[in-house]
Amino acid sequence: MNKDVYLFPVLLVIACFLLFMAGGCTLEEVPVDEEKENVEEDITDEPPAEEARGNSAGNILNGGLVALQGDQLYFAAPGDGGKLYRAGLDGSEKTKLNEDRPRYINATDQYLYYVAMGEPEKTYSEEMGEEFITEIYGPVVRVNLDGGERRVICDGPAANLQLLGDKLYYHDANTEEPRIHRIGAGGGDEEPLTEHRADFFCAEDEGLYYRGIADKPQLYRAVLDGSEPTLFHDGDAYYMNRLDDYLYFVGDILEAGAYLGGRSLYRISTSGGEAVKVSDVEPALLNCAGDWLYYSKAHTGEICRIKPDGTDNALLSSDPCGGLFVFEHGLYYVNIGEQGSLYYMELEGSGRKKID
């Protein structure tokens, strides 16, 4: 087994994307105002406040297809090819904002920041006799909350875009050697933060946690400007989420330093130390909020939650999940079993409802 590729989440994301393009349901399209043409000029507006957080790292690492600002939901609508829409928290009053296909959506009280995806490319492998879809990541853009005044912050291609304070963090996409970068939310000079390959990451006030690959995949922590990189865990790590004083992640199953195959749920204190297995569950996706860890099961995609100490593991939904987006009021997820539709349910699993 190639430890550098976690097949199930990769397949889930690919399946989710393909189903988005197929269009799982029909939306009443609201005409996009002609005034909302692209404005690609120097960014001079005031950046977000230093305490701003555009979306949680957990939501972004699950694809960032859903963001919340006040009582409004901003999302990539599966019923319209993943285009940008706004709705109430219950999915009511859907409004199309523009023609972008956003991913990694970050919302503030003034703007939306996201990666505008390009059209996927299809290639056929004669050797394998199969057709493959390659997702084309695009630039980092900013729009008003009504989807207008579109401005390119940086050309990208970018992935895992996270807004923390007045800075945007992302890593290169469509390359075998990604690096993590930082740029001002209002534009400006881009700063490379990592010297070697790095992809999965979460930006927190105390630093940058990331999956770095020099000789092998390992978990690192650095200052937010990329300085003082420190080996944090000698092992692979995906879906990092900080909850209180711990960093939770999906990591290799190890025994005496030897890889046993498969992955499980771990945590490590933000002050450092040894990583500890939380449970024997085998997650594909992970997201954390409040007093719970939410995950989808490898191989089935079923949605579960578990306490941070590994107790009270419970099944919330048997729907195969391709993305988990957790907020204080509830959980949204991509239902692969229903053509990639977007669903909502309360945090304990009740009130399941199709949003789009």
Q: What is the CATH number of the domain that holds 31?
A: 2.120.10.30
* Inside any domain, residue 180: yes
Q: Is the pLDDT of residue 116 over 60?
A: yes
Q: What is the pLDDT of residue 48?
A: 73
150 DSSP 8-state letter: B
Residue 97 lies in a domain: yes
Model confidence pLDDT, tens digit, residues 282-320: 999 999 988 999 999 999 999 999 999 999 999 999 999
- Number of domains, the chain: 1
C-alpha span between 221 and 204 (Å, rounded): 10
The verdict on residue 2 lying in a domain is: no
Report the alpha-carbon distance of residue 116 to residue 154 in Å, rounded.
Answer: 11
pLDDT (mean) for 266-273: 95
**Residue span of the structural domain in which 128 resides:** 7-354
* Half-sphere exposure at residue 326, Cβ-oriented, CA atoms within 13 angstroms: 25
1 occurs within a structural domain = no
pLDDT for residue 47 is more than 90: no
Is residue 99 a part of any domain in this protein? yes
- Is residue 38, in this structure, part of any structural domain at all? yes
Q: Which two tokens stand for residue 90?
A: 């219950």
pLDDT of residue 1: 40
What's the mean pLDDT when you consider all of the chain?
86
- Residue 100 in any domain: the answer is yes
Residue 49: pLDDT band (50, 70, 90) is: low
